[in-house]
Structure 1
Amino acid sequence: MEVKNSVAIVTGGNRGIGEAFVRELFAAGAAKVYVGARNTESAIHLEREFPDRAVAIALDVTDEDSVARAAEKCNDTSIVINNAGAFNNELLIGAVSTAAARNEMDVNYFGPLMMCRAFAPLLAHNGGGAIMNVLSVGAILPIPNMGGYSPSKFAAHALTTILRAELSEQGTQVGCLIVGSVDTRMAEHVAGKKEKPEDIAKAGIAAVRKNIPEMDTDIFAITMRAAMHRDPGTLEKRMAASIHATDISTGR
């Protein structure tokens, strides 16, 4: 997939990894990037920085009508970056209700599914194109203190593989990024070294260019995958132990 002169849409493109994708797509020569955000005012700074190239689009990935309207407006899209995500920092049992887990599944699984359903016909019409789903280490390793986030990313991981098969005949490549700890608002509660959002975006664009089905974007993702394959039993025990540092009544 050639990124130069392409037209992309980035969900959650107004900040964090999404904003980094917008900037790195332009650095790679993209002609236009639709910046998906629930509130387009939050993406005005990108429109001002990249006039006539960055286009803010009202987009709520949990709302099928909103996704359909975005697809209608962005019908020249050739690359879809499913970046929008939710992490509510609640436990599965300790949470007051299942609302947080349902929201994480809505945003992290059903959101990309609806985006792919809406944009796949456009990609086929525009020559095939590419879909890149921004996932997490939580998509390959069940992380107990991440509540509904990890299951939702597991679902999105399976979605990626299934859609790759479904869309192969129309020439659409489908991949995902396994991302570790990144210096964004979502991970502000996490201690330790964090990757720069722009480095994750650069890895994602390289994965699109080279049609890499699944890419570990950083050292944390690589290390955790290796630990999972080397000694899964010990890693599971370590993960279970980590949950005892969390208040079971609140999930925090």
Structure 2
Amino acid sequence: MLINNAGASVASAGILTHTDAEIRTNVETNFLGPLFLARAFAPILSANDESVIIDFHSAVSWYAVGGIYSATKAALWSATNSLRLELAPARVHVVGVHVEYVDTAMAAQAAGPKMDPADLVRTVMDAVEAGEYEGSDETSVRLKAGLSSPIGAIYPQLALNKA
């Protein structure tokens, strides 16, 4: 089992206001790191029965309010889907995990409810054992369901800029 639970985030929400270093750190940690680990471990996982890769995304991979963090987690979601398709013939199960806030040091400054880490582990392991492709909290399920909505419904703040 390979668990990719990397996460780098910056305080600024504006993707245009991030420094070059912040952008590079987020791309390397949130996208390239998990992708390169999956590539490195793919031969080992492919050679064993019941192998699993678990990639932790974020609810904001479906909702672009986190600047570069959202963008890199969206890229990881896409890479996870690609890995899933590429590794399926080798019977490597790939699970993507989307959650809002988990009660960890990374979310210490975040306001609002936070998922207990033990609950997250149960959610993920239940998804793995059931052969599901995703494990998500309620917020993430709702955000994903909204992806087919018109862009103005997803981002009502865009209407404010048309006036």
Q: Secondary structure at the match of 2:3?
A: strand
Q: Does 1:168 align with 2:91?
A: no
Q: Describe the superposition over 1:195-250 as per-residue Cα deviations: whole angstroms up to 9, x where unpaired.
A: 1111111111111111211222x222233334444564133124898xxxxxxxxx
Partner residue, 1:94 = 17
Q: Which ranges in structure 2 are unaligned for 5 or more consecutive residues? A: none
* 1:149 to 2:72 alignment: no
| Cα distance in 2 for residues equivalent to 1:120 and 1:94 | 36
Residue in structure 1 matched with residue 154 of structure 2 by the alignment:
235
**Which structure: larger Rg?**
1
The residue type paired with residue 93 of structure 1 is L
Q: Which of the numbers 175, 180, 185 marks the counterpart of 2:100?
A: 180
Runs of 4+ in 1 over 6 A off after TM superposition: none
Matched letter for residue 215 of structure 1: G
When residues 114 and 202 of structure 1 are mapped into structure 2, their CA distance, relative to the original with a 3 A threshold, is: same
1:228/1:202 CA distance change after superposition, 3 Å? same
How far apart are the structure 1 equivalents of 2:49 and 2:149? Answer: 41
Distance 1:141 1:118, change over 3 A: same
Distance 1:228 1:164, change over 3 A: closer
Q: 1:83 to 1:239 in 2, by over 3 A?
A: farther
**Equivalent residue, structure 2, for 1:9:** none
CA contact 1:101–1:147 (8 Å) conserved in 2? no
Match of 1:135 among 41, 57, 80: 57
Q: TM-score, normalising length from structure 2?
A: 0.87
Where does the alignment leave 5 or more consecutive residues of structure 1 unmatched?
Answer: 1-78, 242-252
RMSD across aligned C-alpha pairs, in angstroms? 2.0
Q: Distance in 2 between matches of 1:121 and 1:105?
A: 24
* 3-state SS of paired residue (2:7): coil
Q: How does 1:1-252 map to 2 (within 5 A)?
A: 79-90=1-12, 91-95=14-18, 97-143=19-65, 146-216=66-136, 218-230=137-149, 232-238=151-157
Amino acid at match of 1:221: S
